[in-house]
Amino acid sequence: MTDNQNNRRESDLSAIMVIFGGTGDLTNRKLMPALYNLVLDKLLPEHFAVVAVGRRDKTREEYLNDIYASINKFSRNKIDDSIWLQLKEKIHYYQFDFTEMNGYTGLNEFLNSLDKKAHTGGNRVFYLAVAPEYFETIVQGLQNSNMAKKQGSWSRLIIEKPFGKDLITARNLNNKLLEVFEESSIYRIDHYLGKEMIQNIMVLRFCNSIFESIWNNKFIDNIQISLTEKLGVGTRGGYYEHSGAMRDMIQNHIIQILSLVAMEPPINLKTDSIRTEKQKVLEAIEDITPEFLKNNVVFGQYGPGIIDGNPVPGYREELNVPKDSSTETFVALKLHINNFRWAGTPFYIRTGKRLGKSSAEIVVQFKDLPNILYFKDQEIQEPNLLVLRIQPNVGVFFQFNTKDFSTHNGIVPTKMDTSSFSPTQGNTPEAYERLIYDILRGDATLFSRWDEVEAAWMIADRLIQYREQKRSQFPNYDAGTMGPIRAFELLAKDGRKWWHV
């Protein structure tokens, strides 16, 4: 690479990242540790600055002390003071109530003066690490102060989920954003898409003929996507009452994973080509009618129970949760994708809180062989399984059958497993590190395009409306179990079961 190319690449990455909500939990737990590790890995440009916007009265030194403590607590790598010094010089604190429109002019002047010192070329990343109700307010402030667009530089808007609370509010929010920013400049973050194994789904499929050649309804019996948590809602009861498992997990994380697992090969690895194939999957999901919902969806809410030997309260006993709450903390769902690749192959989805284990994984169960040859008598045929482990273990598990060498003619399932905790694979980067780096590079592949968000809400809205119309007998599962009995019956009636590998 020539010096001119290096200089051009550096100028493309150079920017000021403005974090609204600079004293909040997301900034302290995720964003600042991610920035620290990007400095450690030499992935942040030299000409880069961070402006943390907060309402609290703090000096820059006080703020830096708080951030140092957060990085020390939450970083995946032990803090190195020489690396911290490099990041520290880039961080600035700006006290400002972002609900006050007259304050944006002062922020703009501060950023312009910082541009001259940091040589960031006027490029901006506006990261809204705030509650969703403030998204429109901040974007309006950026527009009024002429910060959204600058001649000869770029600006990118980063927003965290949830993107609205239903299809109508999501469309209204999107229209407001598009009045100020172009679609290509809006980065809707779903941190699950930054996880290593989620990115690895496409690599496993499209770099291995052994998988892609059989990745269809001729060879796959069913696919299961499970995102389960031992934790309850904790202090987030107020938020969760307006969210539930549908809005918190299904509408974004799980539907995004589903589209990656089921998509057709893109024509190239460009952002829009990948997003287009994901969108086609969502459009091919079978019609979600009331009759379909009656037979294919299960809602649950946890009651008191035992987790790791300790008693825990039920959802209705959590802080800020009504005693008669009908909010779901568990969803199990069966879907079909009606295209040539997947017609007839069910996709089973489940997610919930206060379950028996915390994990995120995709299980691909391949079809059984005919009951002849080795299986014609009494041998029990264990299916071939491919398991993509997203967390807490990150890796690929494969189960296949082989001879039992301790007997004359026995058949046993053999397991091949990989894990990110293996010393040979090192310490896996956190999702936000990858996502921030992609934002600076202008790579939106791992971010949601509006039509994906819209299609996901069309699916989720029908499920939410059905849940709100039906009377559920909650709570219907004990904390520490794997959900309501009906979630197991959902698969049992098809002659299948949830896999615990």
Q: CATH fold of 15-160, please?
A: Rossmann fold (3.40.50)
The answer to whether the beta carbons of residues 420 and 391 sit under 8 Å apart is no
Mean predicted confidence (pLDDT) in 424-436:
68
Mean predicted confidence (pLDDT) in 404-410:
62
pLDDT reading at 224 higher than 80: yes
pLDDT reading at 412 higher than 90: no
Phi, psi dihedrals of residue 395, rounded to the nearest 5°: 170, -170
Using N-to-C axis directions, what is the helix angle for 32-40 and 60-74, rounded to 10°? 80
- Collapsing DSSP to helix, strand or coil, 414 comes out as strand
The answer to whether the beta carbons of residues 28 and 67 sit under 8 Å apart is yes
pLDDT reading at 499 higher than 70: yes
Per-residue DSSP letter, 195: S
| pLDDT (tens digit per residue) in 177-197 | 999 999 999 999 887 777 777
pLDDT reading at 409 higher than 70: no
Distance CA 385, CA 363 (A): 7
Q: Rounded to 10 degrees, what is the CA torsion of 387, 421, 68, 39?
A: -90
State residue 368's pLDDT score.
82
Joined tokens for residue 443? 């790579």
Most confident segment among 5-9, 262-266, 467-471, 484-488: 484-488
Q: Do the domains 15-160 and 193-493 sit in the same CATH topology, yes or no?
A: no
pLDDT reading at 221 higher than 80: yes
Q: Which helix (H) or strand (E) holds 54?
A: strand 48-54
193-493 belongs to CATH 3.40.630.30:
no
State residue 271's pLDDT score.
84
DSSP alpha helix (H) spans, 161-266: 167-178, 196-206, 209-212, 237-241, 244-245, 255-262
State residue 123's pLDDT score.
94
State residue 7's pLDDT score.
39
| pLDDT (tens digit per residue) in 225-245 | 999 999 999 888 888 998 899
Per-residue DSSP letter, 442: T
Q: How many CB atoms lie within 10 A of CB 6?
A: 10
- More reliable by pLDDT, 492 or 191: 492
Type of residue found at 446: L
Residue from 47, 119, 253, 408 carrying the catalytic annotation:
253
- Collapsing DSSP to helix, strand or coil, 226 comes out as strand
| pLDDT (tens digit per residue) in 435-462 | 999 999 999 888 888 998 999 999 999 9
pLDDT reading at 160 higher than 50: yes
Q: In the structure, what pLDDT confidence band is assigned to residue 418 with cuts at 50, 70 and 90?
A: confident
The answer to whether the beta carbons of residues 244 and 262 sit under 8 Å apart is no
| pLDDT (tens digit per residue) in 239-274 | 899 889 999 899 888 999 999 999 999 988 788 898
| pLDDT (tens digit per residue) in 196-218 | 777 788 888 888 888 889 999 99
Per-residue DSSP letter, 42: T
Whether cis (ω within 30° of 0) applies to the bond prior to 313 is no
Mean predicted confidence (pLDDT) in 354-364:
94
Type of residue found at 282: L
- Catalytic site includes residue 119: no
Give, in order, the Cα–Cα distances in Å from 68 to each of 32, 74, 88, 433. 9, 10, 9, 17
Per-residue DSSP letter, 213: T
State residue 404's pLDDT score.
65
Helix, strand, coil % over all residues of the chain, rounded to 5: 40, 20, 40
Q: What is the mean pLDDT of the chain?
A: 88
Joined tokens for residue 306? 């035992």
Distance CA 12, CA 24 (A): 29
- Of the candidate ranges 119-123, 159-163, 359-363, the one whose mean pLDDT is the lowest: 159-163
Domain extents in the chain? 15-160, 193-493
DSSP strand E in 137-209: where?
Answer: 155-160, 186-189
Distance CA 67, CA 29 (A): 9
Identify any residues that bridge with 310 across adjacent strands, giving them in sequence order.
307
Q: In the structure, what pLDDT confidence band is assigned to residue 12 with cuts at 50, 70 and 90?
A: low
Give, in order, the Cα–Cα distances in Å from 30 to each of 69, 73, 433. 13, 11, 9
The answer to whether the beta carbons of residues 249 and 349 sit under 8 Å apart is no
Phi, psi dihedrals of residue 414, rounded to the nearest 5°: -110, 145
Joined tokens for residue 118? 């940091």
- Of the candidate ranges 172-176, 272-276, 425-429, the one whose mean pLDDT is the lowest: 425-429
Q: Which residues have C-beta within 8 Å of that of residue 303, sequence separation ≥ 6?
A: 314, 315, 316, 475, 476, 477, 478, 479
Distance CA 296, CA 294 (A): 6
pLDDT reading at 374 higher than 70: no
| pLDDT (tens digit per residue) in 21-79 | 999 999 999 999 999 999 999 999 999 999 999 999 999 999 999 999 999 999 989 99
Q: In the structure, what pLDDT confidence band is assigned to residue 400 with cuts at 50, 70 and 90?
A: confident
- Of the candidate ranges 110-114, 171-175, 294-298, 414-418, the one whose mean pLDDT is the lowest: 414-418
pLDDT reading at 425 higher than 80: no
pLDDT reading at 1 higher than 60: no
Distance CA 157, CA 124 (A): 9
Percent of the chain with pLDDT over 90: 63
Using N-to-C axis directions, what is the helix angle for 32-40 and 81-88, rounded to 10°? 110
Mean predicted confidence (pLDDT) in 297-318:
96
Distance CA 30, CA 33 (A): 6
Burial class of residue 352 in the structure, from the number of CB atoms within 10 Å of its CB (0-12 exposed, 13-18 middle, 19+ buried)? buried
Mean predicted confidence (pLDDT) in 473-493:
96
Q: Rounded to 10 degrees, what is the CA torsion of 377, 380, 383, 388?
A: -160
The answer to whether the beta carbons of residues 238 and 131 sit under 8 Å apart is no
Q: Which residues define the annotated binding site for NADP(+)?
A: 55, 97-98, 161
Q: Which residues define the annotated binding site?
A: 55, 97-98, 161, 191, 195, 229, 248, 353
State residue 419's pLDDT score.
62
